[in-house]
Structure 1
Amino acid sequence: MENSDADLPLWAVMLLVVGMTVAFAVGGQALIRWMFPKLREKRHNDVAGFLVAVIGVIYAVTVGFIIAEQWNNFTDAREHAQQEAFALSSIAQGGVILGPIWQAQMEQAVVRYNQAVIKGWPQQGDAEELGRIREEQTLDPLFALLDQVRPTTPAQRAYVDQASKQLTFAVADREERLYRAGTSHLERPLWVLVVFASGVILLFCMLFGLESRWLHYTMITGVAMTVSCNLLLVVLLNHPLSGTLQVSPDAYKSVVRDLTR
C-alpha cells in the first residue's frame, strides 16, 4: 500500500483506525440483531463459541506473525541508520591522527552530510524526491578528502584504510536506507489478509446471542477495540522510515551536536 498515512498525525491515525473498526462492529451488530431476532435465543452460542475460539487462535497467530515481522523490519531500519551515522562520526573523530587541519575538514564534511540527511528525512520516502536527496546526501567529499591524504606513519595508514572501509559501508547503509524508505511496506495481499481476518473474527462475535442489547454492544465494542489495536500496529509499523510512526534521525542529530561543540 502507498504511504497514505504519512501526512496524518498519530492521533488522527489512531482515531481513524479505532473509530472505523468500532463503527463496523457496532453497526454490524445492530444490523444482525434487527435482521435475525431469533439469535437472541442463544441456541447456537455453544457452536459459535467453539468456532470463535478456533478462529481467534488462527487470527492471533497470523496477525501476530505479521506484526512481529514488521517490528523486526522497524528495528533493523533503526539499527542501520544508527550504524551509518556513528560510522561517519568515528571517521571524523579518528581524523585527529592526521592533525588538526585534516580533522577539522573531516568533521565539517561529516556534519554537512548529517545535516543533509536530517533535512531530507521527511521526504526520503517520496520517489520523486529520491534523485535530489541522493545528490544532497553524497559522501563524495569524504572520499575526496581521504584520497588527498598522504599518510606518513603506520598509524595514519591504518586510519586511512579503516576509514575507507567504514565509508564504503556507510554508502551501503545510505543506499539501503533510501531504498527502504520508498519500498519497505506490507504487501497488498497481506493487507487483504489482515483486514479479512479481522472482519471474520468480528463477524463471528456478532453472531453470539444476548438478550441485553446494550451489554451486547458493550462486548462487541471491547472486541472491536482489541482488534483495532492490532490493525493500528500494522498501520503504524508499515513504513518504518517514512510513516506516521517512523525511525527518527536522532543518531544523525547526536553526531552533529558532538562534532559542533
Structure 2
Amino acid sequence: MLLLRALNSAPIWLVILGVVAALELYSVGLMLLSRKKLGPDRLKPNNEVAGFKFSVIGVLYAVLLAFVVIAVWQNYNNTEIAVRNEAKAVGDLTQLSYALPEPEGSAIRTSLADYANEVRQSEWATMATGLPSKTTGDALAHLTQAIFDLHADQIRDLALFQQSLHLLAAIQDNRNERLDSANGSVPPILWFVLIAGAIITLGYPAFFGTTNLVAQILMTATLAALVALTLLLALLLDFPFTGQVSVSSGAFDEALQQMPPHLKGHPPPETENSLP
C-alpha cells in the first residue's frame, strides 16, 4: 500500500509514463524474446489453442478490472458527496447558531470556524498520507462540548438543540466517511490479483507467432497500454485525497465564506480532552 500511495503522490505524467513504459517493455520484450528463441514457425501452431485460452483469460481479467474501476469511481464520488454534506452541515449549523441563546451561539460559531479552518489547512494535508489530524479532532471535540453546553429551557430552544445535535451527527458521520476513504477502498490482496493478472495477460502474446512482426508488436503494445492506463485509473481514484487527482476542499472554503470575517482565520482552541 505504501508503494501504491507513493505512485499516487508522484507527478501524474511521470507515473503514466513510467507504468505504461514498464508494461510495454515487459509485454513487447517478452514477445520479441520468444520469437528470437523459438522462431515464428514454432509459435504458429499455438495460435489456435492459445488464442482460445487467451480470450478466456482476457475476459476474466477485463471483468475484474472493470469491477475495480467502477468500485473506486463510485467510492470517489461518494467521498465528494460526503465532503459536500459535511461542509453543508457546518454552514447550516452556523446559520442555526444565530437563533441560539448567547453566549452559547457565539461559542458554537467560533468552534465551527475553528473546525472548518483545521479541516482545510491541517486535515487535508494529513489525509494525503491516510491519517487524521489531531488538531481537527480537538476542534470537533470543542464544537461538541459547545453544543452540549446549550440549555434547552423552552420548547423552542429544545427544537433548536435537537437540530444542532442532528447537524453535529452529520458532521461527525461525514468526517468519518472522509477519513475512511483516505486509505483507499481496494484491499491489498485485490491489488495483488490485479497486478498478477496484468503480468499473466500481457505475457500471453509471447505464445503467439505471426509472419507480420510489425502488426504483432503493435497489437501487443496496444494491449499493454490499455491495461496500464486502466490500472492507473483505478490507482488514481482509489486514494481520493492523494496526488493530483484528488477531492477538492472547495466546499469548506464556501462554508467559511458564510462565517463572520473575524472568525475565518480563528486559531484552534486549546482542549484537554479530544475526540479523534
Instruction: State TM-score, norm by structure 1.
Output: 0.85
Give the corresponding residue for 1:23: 25
Secondary structure of residue in 1 paired with 2:48: helix
Cα distance, 1:81 vs. partner?
Answer: 2.2
Distance 1:109 1:39, change over 3 A: farther
C-alpha contact (below 8 Å) 2:19/2:228 kept by paired residues: yes
Give the corresponding residue for 2:82: 80
Output one character per residue of 1:13-48: Cα deviation in whole Å (capped at 9) or x when no partner. Answer: 222221211121121122111111134773332223
C-alpha contact (below 8 Å) 1:114/1:252 kept by paired residues: yes
Give the corresponding residue for 1:221: 221
Deviates more, 1:236-245 or 1:221-230: 236-245
1:50-129 equivalent positions in 2, closer than 5 A: 50-98=52-100, 105-120=107-122, 121-126=124-129
Give the corresponding residue for 1:230: 230
Cα distance, 1:228 vs. partner?
Answer: 0.9
Q: Following the alignment from structure 1 to structure 2, what is the Cα–Cα distance between the partners of residues 177 and 86?
A: 14
Cα distance, 1:85 vs. partner?
Answer: 1.6
The question of 1:193 aligning with 2:196 is answered: no
Runs of 4+ in 1 over 4 A off after TM superposition: 99-105
Q: Following the alignment from structure 1 to structure 2, what is the Cα–Cα distance between the partners of residues 143 and 44?
A: 69
Distance 1:6 1:134, change over 3 A: farther
- Aligned residue type for 1:218: L
Cα distance, 1:153 vs. partner?
Answer: 5.1
Deviates more, 1:227-236 or 1:199-208: 199-208
Q: Following the alignment from structure 1 to structure 2, what is the Cα–Cα distance between the partners of residues 112 and 23?
A: 51
- Aligned residue type for 1:57: V
Secondary structure of residue in 1 paired with 2:7: coil
Output one character per residue of 1:106-144: Cα deviation in whole Å (capped at 9) or x when no partner. Answer: 4443222111111121222546x64xx123342233233
Distance 1:6 1:58, change over 3 A: closer
C-alpha contact (below 8 Å) 2:89/2:171 kept by paired residues: yes
Q: Following the alignment from structure 1 to structure 2, what is the Cα–Cα distance between the partners of residues 246 and 180?
A: 12
RMSD, matched Cα: 2.6
C-alpha contact (below 8 Å) 1:41/1:211 kept by paired residues: no
Give the corresponding residue for 2:155: 154
Q: Following the alignment from structure 1 to structure 2, what is the Cα–Cα distance between the partners of residues 17 and 211?
A: 29
Task: Identify which of 16, 19, 37 aligns with 2:39.
Answer: 37
Give the corresponding residue for 1:202: 202
Q: Following the alignment from structure 1 to structure 2, what is the Cα–Cα distance between the partners of residues 87 and 96?
A: 15
1:235-254 equivalent positions in 2, closer than 5 A: 235-254=235-254
The question of 1:212 aligning with 2:212 is answered: yes
Output one character per residue of 1:48-76: Cα deviation in whole Å (capped at 9) or x when no partner. Answer: 32222211111111222222222232222
Q: Which runs of 5+ in 1 are unaligned?
A: none
Output one character per residue of 1:89-117: Cα deviation in whole Å (capped at 9) or x when no partner. Answer: 11111223237976555444322211111
Q: Following the alignment from structure 2 to structure 1, what is the Cα–Cα distance between the partners of residues 46 and 93?
A: 70
- Aligned residue type for 1:239: F
Distance 1:158 1:41, change over 3 A: closer
Q: Following the alignment from structure 2 to structure 1, what is the Cα–Cα distance between the partners of residues 39 and 258?
A: 69
Distance 1:260 1:23, change over 3 A: farther
Deviates more, 1:110-119 or 1:77-86: 77-86
